[in-house]
Amino acid sequence: MSKPVVLIAEELSPATVEALGPDFEVRHCNGADRSELLPAIADVDAVLVRSATKVDAEAIAAAKRLKVVARAGVGLDNVDVPAATQAGVMVVNAPTSNIVSAAELAIGLLIGVARNIPAASGALRDGQWKRSKYTGAELYEKTLGVVGLGRIGVLVAQRLSAFGMKVIAYDPYVQAGRAAQMGVRLVSMDELLAEADFITVHLPKTPETVGLIGEEALRKVKPTVRIVNAARGGIVDEGALHAALKEGRVAGAGLDVFAKEPCTDSPLFELDNVVATPHLGASTDEAQERAGIAVAKSVRLALAGELVPDAVNVKGGVIAEDVRPGIPLAEKLGRIFTALAGGGAQSLDVEVRGEIAALDVKVLELAALKGVFTDVVEEQVSYVNAPVLAAERGLEVRLTTDPVSEDYRNVVTLRGTLADGQQVSVSGTLSGPKHIEKIVEVDGFDVEIVPSGHMAFFRYTDRPGVVGTVGRILGDAGVNIAGMQVSRDTKGGQALVALTVDSAVPAPLLAELVTEIGAEQGRTVDLVD
């Protein structure tokens, strides 16, 4: 019997091939050369790439035997994940391979901008000895503000604590007790902006975080603050930052990422108090080796038909056929739960009721956790790190099963308790032979809606005119309503309106809706990646 064929389309560390082991036929090609890639990929079972090889729909269509695409790194910009999914090809990456390298680069940028190292070095190379011009600032006893206390943010906080820095952090999805164990004090975003001497950003790029540190935020900081962004381009508004630096409202900045990349021409590059690097966060030999080994292990699992922890699309593994269709639903429920909660929960119950409760449904808990953290942490969330993320944030998770389901053949419910004691819940089921996903309960209100890319939920006191007001405001804003449901506990009591809309509802529009209808709560959910 012939061995499975693995194509390595870019230069990877020798440890990658060693991690594959002797059970595969390994081939090599220059993946950046399309005329070489397309024939080479035609009869392989797996392909390993970095960033130069474009595994697009054309390449996937040419690969008749392809079962897995492995990206030895974090991002997947060069892999057409929807096309791979449509073709039944698993896509894996190495989401934790670069966290140490990324943390260390952020610290390097911070020290570089604090001590003016690049500018002073450049001046000396030009024959200028300018000690007084490049006087810097110590880190000792200064306040570090970490925006996003995920795995990279934690590494930065731990390392800079050793410099004698006081560490504060903004992350609404981390419990205060868990932060305190690390010696970190959780604060609001406004408090962080006002108190921090150094600010370092470690958030994912989402509609909510784009421009988070912009004109308004940069008018709340100390004029001596130094700001570092080695996370995602666009979280720090580059235009607003340039203005703040020029006007003396910010003392310096370190940037590894930009809103548009590659970026070789920016007004920021003209400033001595800006340290800039070309997205080097993962660019270390160690990170590349870890990435290669990680994806090699994933390829072995995938080709053996086992569960692949870092699969980003097809959930492989020994999963009961009746359970498998519920995995995407559970993940969506997790994302909806997080949006409804508006912050971190203290506890989360994943309840599975119905016929599938007799089977191993642990994967549904993992999928739910993956959804819970997908939109709120910087790093890629997988089956492996979702429980770790929960533990790091002090989230207590329980999986419960019950073969009895009164209303549906099977139903999955996520039920959580927030720090203020508030309860949040969302339930979903699969309907019919095509397994149509439906949300059937939100915070105790019965609904029946198909989850869509953009949704909104409002809780209010039942009274006439609310539906019309919602429709008018959204219509005036050019947001089309695809579907609407109203549920209430009693006439004149508590009510919930659930909307599916064709485009995202911006934060100012959401606030207007909440005010106009007197809602107790308004939340938006965006499932579009």
Handedness of CA 374, 375, 380, 386 (dihedral sign): negative
The encoded tokens of residue 303 equal 């080709």
279 catalytic, yes or no? yes
Say which amino acid occupies 487: S
Give the C-alpha separation, 64 to 40, whole Å: 11
- The secondary element (H helix, E strand) that includes residue 525 is strand 521-526
Give the C-alpha separation, 512 to 89, whole Å: 44
Give the C-alpha separation, 152 to 44, whole Å: 36
Question: 34, 185, 279, 324: which is the annotated catalytic residue?
Answer: 279
Task: Tell me the C-alpha to C-alpha distance, in Å, between residue 233 and each of 90, 113, 173, 424, 478.
Answer: 28, 18, 22, 33, 28
Partners of 186 in beta bridges: 169
Q: Contact at 8 Å (CB) between 424 and 465?
A: no
Say which amino acid occupies 291: A
242 catalytic, yes or no? no
The encoded tokens of residue 281 equal 């966060």
**Nearest C-alpha neighbor of 109 from the set 238, 220, 229:** 229
261 catalytic, yes or no? yes
Question: 216, 247, 261, 286: which is the annotated catalytic residue?
Answer: 261
The encoded tokens of residue 211 equal 């421009």
The encoded tokens of residue 319 equal 């999963």
Question: 232, 242, 300, 393: which is the annotated catalytic residue?
Answer: 232
3-class SS at 30?
Answer: coil
Beta-sheet strands, E only, within 260-365: 274-276, 345-354
The residues assigned a catalytic role are: 232, 261, 279
